[in-house]
Amino acid sequence: MTDAVGSIDMPDAQDEAPESRKTRKGGKRGKKGPLKRLALFYRQIVAELRKVVWPTRNQLTTYTTVVIIFVVIMIGLVTVIDYGLSNAAKYVFG
User: For the segment 25-82, what is each residue's pLDDT rounded down to a tens digit?
Assistant: 555 555 778 899 999 999 999 999 999 999 999 999 999 999 999 999 999 999 999 9
**Domain spans in the chain, listed from the N-terminal domain onward:** 55-93
Bigger pLDDT: 24 vs 90: 90
Number of helices and strands (H, E) in the chain? 2, 0
| Per-residue confidence (pLDDT) for residue 46, from 0 to 100 | 95
Cα distance between residue 2 and residue 64, in whole Å: 67
Q: Residue 27: left (phi > 0), alpha (psi -120 to 50), or beta?
A: left
What was the pLDDT predicted at 65? Answer: 98
Helices (H), the chain: 34-51, 57-93
